[in-house]
A and B are shown apart, each in its own frame.
Chain A
Amino acid sequence: EAGVAQSPRYKIIEKRQSVAFWCNPISGHATLYWYQQILGQGPKLLIQFQNNGVVDDSQLPKDRFSAERLKGVDSTLKIQPAKLEDSAVYLCASSQNLKETQYFGPGTRLLVL
């Protein structure tokens, strides 16, 4: 069974530019999560989807971050415009359903200069 796929693996941009990340969850998983992991810290949830609906985006900085999960499968996370403090690893995870074990992708390392 294929795991969670993410791309790109690495991205370097300048502040005020925009960037987008892509995630393909494990086949059949209804729930998809985006986490932000700043160096030296544990991951923090940004947004959670159940199928194609948002169930929790309380920690998403909505003035600059947006996410969507069209057709309840793939998801994209966008940052526009990026700030220096957005430098982090962005992890996508999926689970069969709410409160089930989450399986993570390899992450995207973002560096904002």
Chain B
Amino acid sequence: AQKITQTQPGMFVQEKEAVTLDCTYDTSDPSYGLFWYKQPSSGEMIFLIYQGSYDQQNATEGRYSLNFQKARKSANLVISASQLGDSAMYFCAMIAGGTSYGKLTFGQGTILTVHP
């Protein structure tokens, strides 16, 4: 079974500063994918970034980067130069290999608040 743990219920950051949202995962499958999604108050889940278990380099997408530490089973999201529009719920999620058909397993989420 797969498990995602997000230990920070809420995080606060000043506008223009960087923030790290923590995510640890657990799976016995050697092949898996890790995702981060943003969910604003409107409710839609917005895909941010993806990291494959065999990827040699950490994924980056604009202001988002994923700090992937395979030995520690962590996949932290780093948001640089925070903006007020970044205030939202952030979910870490995983798809494992094996017999999984692509079901995303989500963590509990972290609420990020960006202060002006």
Tell me the nearest residue of chain A to B99, going by C-beta.
A56
Query: Is B95 touching A99 in the complex (CB atoms < 8 A)?
Result: yes
Tell me the nearest residue of chain A to B111, going by C-beta.
A40
Query: Is A102 touching B47 in the complex (CB atoms < 8 A)?
Result: yes
Give the interface SS of chain A, mostly helix, strand, loop or mixed.
strand
- When distances are taken between beta carbons in the complex, the residues of chain A under 8 Å from B4 are 42
Interface string of A73-110 (1 = CB under 8 A from B): 00000000000000001010101001111111111010
Q: Could you tell me how many residues of chain B have their Cβ less than 8 Å away from some Cβ of chain A?
A: 24
Which one of B44, B93, B103, B108 contacts A105 once the chains associate, using CB atoms below 8 Å? Answer: B44
Mark the stretch among A11-19, A43-51, A63-71 that contacts chain B. Answer: A43-51
Which one of B50, B100, B109 contacts A101 once the chains associate, using CB atoms below 8 Å? Answer: B50
Supposing A48-B103, A50-B101, A98-B102 touch, asked if A104 and B108 sit within 8 A by C-beta, the answer is no
- When distances are taken between beta carbons in the complex, the residues of chain B under 8 Å from A24 are none
Query: Is B101 touching A89 in the complex (CB atoms < 8 A)?
Result: no
A91 vs B42: C-alpha distance when bound (angstroms): 12
Query: Is A41 touching B101 in the complex (CB atoms < 8 A)?
Result: no
Which one of A48, A56, A99, A103 contacts B47 once the chains associate, using CB atoms below 8 Å? Answer: A103
> Across chains A and B, which 9 residue pairs bring their CB atoms closest together, nearest first?
A42-B106, A104-B45, A99-B102, A98-B102, A107-B43, A55-B101, A106-B44, A45-B103, A56-B101
